[in-house]
Amino acid sequence: MNLKQQLTDTAKAAQSASRFMLTLSSAAKNKALKSMALALLKAKKDILAANKKDIAKAKGPKANKALIDRLSLNSKRIKAMADSLIELTKLHDPVGEVIKAWRIPNGLRIHKVRVPIGVIAIIYESRPDVTSDCIGLCFKSGNAVILRAGREARNSNLAIFSALQEVIKKYKIPAAVANIVPTTDRRAVDLLLKLDNYIDLAIPRGGEGLIKRVVSVSRIPVIKHYKGICHVYVDEWADLNMAQEVCFNAKVQRPGVCNAMESMLVHRDVAARFLPGMLKQFQEAGVKIRGCSLTQKIASRIKPALKHLGWVTQATDKDYRTEYLDLVLSVKVVENLGEAISHINNYGSRHSEAIITENYENALQFLRQVDSACVYVNASTRFTDGHQFGMGAEIGISTDKLHARGPMALEELTTYKYMVFGNGQVRR
């Protein structure tokens, strides 16, 4: 059987399984999720053995340390995977929720009801814990899932998948509610993304290259979980102590994640007061600065001059578009709030931005005009996260504007339909 036929059969079976999922109660889904958590813990040995093989392969002469870290499983990480599944059982099941209901003059009752999306394809790279997270999230929200994982974690993924698949079979749920593309053939992604008759949504998770490729190939709607070039803007009316604390937190508390600050904007009237202390604190934490000319000027006045120590270098246009995911920060002094907003809308990635200000009008203008998923007043961008927002586990942070924006959790894995209750109404 050729690859295209094989993938089509998988997608068809997934569609049929997604329809079965409509018949499962929340209680039944939660029971299965609990069993899945136990199954992961039970299969720990097998999963770790499989993971060892993946790591051995990755540890070639050109070993990439970050890749190996993302790949590596241990008892603690497997426990965390199981805990995530248990957590899902405690979250509200969005399926069946009546979003709105009303009656129209002829007596028809219209209910707008939340339903699963159907079949979701997830294309991701090397983190094996994504496998169980995605299966759990899609299962709880009543969707069938087709996973296409990176080849680096192939053995680990298959071990995790088969542990979860056992449970699905045990509960007499069609196996095709969770699928993993069984080949590492690169053409599989392209073929999968053409199956718009069977797959309702594609979610790529990974680097910019992967996401761009999926968007350019896909005939299925794609929700992009893109990079986070997050900004904090220190307004002329900022409480500068608060500004320093928030900016430091947004950059340093965990620099490798998408909601960390990558670019700091400072109103010119407070730059001379704010930047010296802020830059010193960043220097002490090992943060390198890519600054505009004014930032550099201020940095060179600090003794010993940060600029001459190499902590501050010239920011280029490319810097303002870079997600460092590291202890590097671009800093720009702006003329006014308007310039800050334009800069964010032009250079940002529509993820998370904050203004630090005590000025009411400026706060409102920032909230309204910044075109990002999450806009903050006087708080760190680091809160953009399903757990922090109280939405529970998330499949990622959408930087798209359609369907789901920001943290994408169970509710965002659903759509709606209109159920209309009549007693013989016809249109006149």
> Given the rule CB under 8 A, which residues bind its own copies?
19, 22-23, 102, 104, 108, 110, 117-118, 196, 200-201, 215-216, 219, 221-223, 239, 242, 245-246, 248-250, 253-254, 345, 367-369, 371-380, 382-384, 388-390, 400-403, 405-406, 415-428
Give dist(CA 275, CA 278) in Å, integer. Answer: 5
Q: How far is the CB of 368 from its own copies (least distance, A)?
A: 5
* Residue 122 near residue 95, CB atoms below 8 Å: no
Give dist(CA 327, CA 17) in Å, integer. Answer: 46
Q: How far is the CB of 172 from its own copies (least distance, A)?
A: 18
Residues 6+ apart with CB under 8 A from 63: none
Q: How far is the CB of 18 from its own copies (least distance, A)?
A: 9
Nearer to its own copies, 72 or 384 (CB): 384
Nearer to its own copies, 39 or 413 (CB): 413
* Residue 366 near residue 348, CB atoms below 8 Å: no
CA 337 to the chain's CA centroid: 29
Q: SS3 of 239, please?
A: coil
Q: SS3 of 266, please?
A: strand
Q: How far is the CB of 117 from its own copies (least distance, A)?
A: 6
* Residue 143 near residue 24, CB atoms below 8 Å: no
Nearer to its own copies, 22 or 56 (CB): 22
Q: How far is the CB of 152 from its own copies (least distance, A)?
A: 28
Query: What is 380-407 written as a DSSP string?
Result: -GGG-SHHHHTS-S-SEEE--SSS--EE
Nearer to its own copies, 175 or 402 (CB): 402
Nearer to its own copies, 314 or 360 (CB): 360
Nearer to its own copies, 108 or 305 (CB): 108
Phi, psi (deg, nearest 5) at residue 370: -80, 125
Give dist(CA 374, CA 362) in Å, integer. Answer: 17
Q: How far is the CB of 392 from its own copies (least distance, A)?
A: 13
Q: How far is the CB of 239 from its own copies (least distance, A)?
A: 8
Nearer to its own copies, 253 or 293 (CB): 253
Residue with tokens 């070639």: 60
Cβ-count burial of 170 within 10 angstroms (0-12 exposed, 13-18 middle, 19+ buried)? Answer: exposed
